[in-house]
């Protein structure tokens, strides 16, 4: 008896890496799985793996960043399994480049697959869930890169957008019984192997099995998880972390409104000494001594 027996699940970008891990875990929990990936060969391999384990799966090669692709993915699920219960929007690409060198194409490609792909797949799935009257679960994929990450303006922006979409969609879709959450996964994959640090070099990272994100996903998508919506969880390895969502912090009030002189008098002593650290590892705020134009050589 699996926690997702009888459920029909789509995982986008499931031909390799983290998506493959999700697909295998969903199948192990009893769900029938649409293994979507633009790479037909790897999608077929994952279907074979699931079938070899006694599960049910079909492959689909729709591209998530186009409406026709997203619609075909949901349609394939309904045709094969009679309905859709879960849309796991996982497909992703990286086109890393420092901000000043990043091309328009590199920006657009990343926004298309991540932001538009998540929008289109979730909308197609939610419309079908509404028509079914069954409720359902939408899960998106963000990344800690959205806290800020060197060389990833496009990717960090896309992941931040997806987090914000999660909060909004959760508010709108609860009336249809649809829950919306996101995970910020981790795993050693083709994508994680491309990351270089601010020094422009690759740094060896310990191996993390991409399948370890799956168990919490199974719980989130099960009926036991029916109280969870609008949340983002850090997953993978040994952790499940609840992401603290952005909110207004320390606030200064000036009766009647602020003047420039009042800002000058109060800002540095009351907000300037509390500025937020940047990036994934949150080192101490680095610019307290000011940021200055480069000195002439």
Stretch that binds ligand NAD, among 60-68, 124-132, 174-182, 227-235 (CB under 6 A): 60-68
Site for ligand NAD contains 124 (CB under 6 A): no
Give yes or no: 219 in active site: no
Question: Does position 235 bind ligand NAD by CB under 6 A?
Answer: no
DSSP 8-state secondary structure symbol assigned to residue 295 = P
* Of the residues 25, 36, 149, 166, which one makes contact with ligand NAD according to CB under 6 A: 36
The side-by-side arrangement of strands in the sheet containing 178-184 is 57-60, 32-36, 8-11, 86-88, 136-141, 178-184, 232-236, 239-242
User: Is the CB of residue 36 less than 8 Å from the CB of residue 73?
Assistant: yes
Near ligand NAD by CB under 6 A: residue from 32, 113, 161, 169: 113
Q: Is there binding between residue 153 and ligand NAD (CB under 6 A)?
A: no
Residue among 25, 72, 128, 143 that touches ligand NAD (CB under 6 A): 143
**10, 84 contact by CB (below 8 A):** yes
Answer yes or no whether residue 141 interacts with ligand NAD by CB under 6 A: yes
Stretch 75-94 residues interacting with ligand NAD (CB under 6 A): 90-93
Angle between helices 17-28 and 214-221 (to 10 degrees): 50
Q: How many Å from the N-terminal Cα to the C-terminal Cα in the chain?
A: 70
Q: Name the minimum Å distance from CB 162 to ligand NAD.
A: 9
Rounded Cα gap, residues 186 and 193, in angstroms: 12
Which residues carry out catalysis?
A: 155
**Contact footprint for ligand NAD (CB under 6 A):** 12-13, 15-19, 36-39, 42, 63-65, 90-93, 113, 117, 141, 143, 184-187, 189-192
């Amino acid at each position: 008896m699996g926690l997702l027996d009888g459920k029909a699940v789509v995982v986008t970008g499931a031909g390799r890496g983290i998506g493959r891990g999700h697909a295998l875990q969903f199948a192990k929990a009893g769900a029938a799985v649409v293994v979507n990936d633009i790479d037909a060969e790897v999608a077929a391999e994952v279907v074979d793996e699931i079938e070899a384990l006694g599960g049910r799966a079909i492959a689909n090669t729709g591209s998530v960043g186009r409406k026709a692709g997203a619609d075909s993915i949901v349609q394939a699920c309904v045709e094969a399994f009679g309905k859709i219960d879960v849309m796991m929007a996982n497909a992703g690409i990286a086109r890393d480049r420092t901000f000043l060198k990043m091309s328009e194409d590199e920006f657009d490609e990343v926004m298309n697959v991540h932001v538009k792909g998540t929008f289109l797949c979730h909308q197609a799935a939610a419309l079908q869930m509404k028509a079914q009257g069954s409720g359902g679960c939408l899960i998106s994929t963000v990344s800690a890169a959205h806290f800020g990450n060197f060389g990833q303006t496009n990717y960090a922006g896309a992941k931040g957008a997806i987090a914000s979409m999660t909060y909004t969609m959760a508010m709108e879709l609860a009336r249809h019984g649809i829950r919306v959450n996101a995970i910020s996964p981790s795993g050693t994959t083709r994508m994680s192997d491309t990351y270089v640090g601010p020094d422009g070099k690759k740094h060896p990272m310990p191996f993390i099995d991409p399948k370890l994100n799956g168990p919490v996903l199974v719980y989130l998508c099960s009926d036991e998880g029916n109280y969870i919506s609008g949340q983002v969880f850090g997953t993978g390895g040994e952790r499940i972390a609840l992401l603290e969502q952005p909110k207004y912090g320390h606030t200064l009030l000036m009766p009647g409104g602020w003047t420039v002189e009042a800002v000058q008098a109060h800002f540095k002593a009351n907000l300037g000494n509390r500025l937020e650290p940047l990036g994934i590892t949150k080192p101490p705020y680095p610019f307290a001594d000011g940021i200055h134009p480069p000195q002439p050589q």
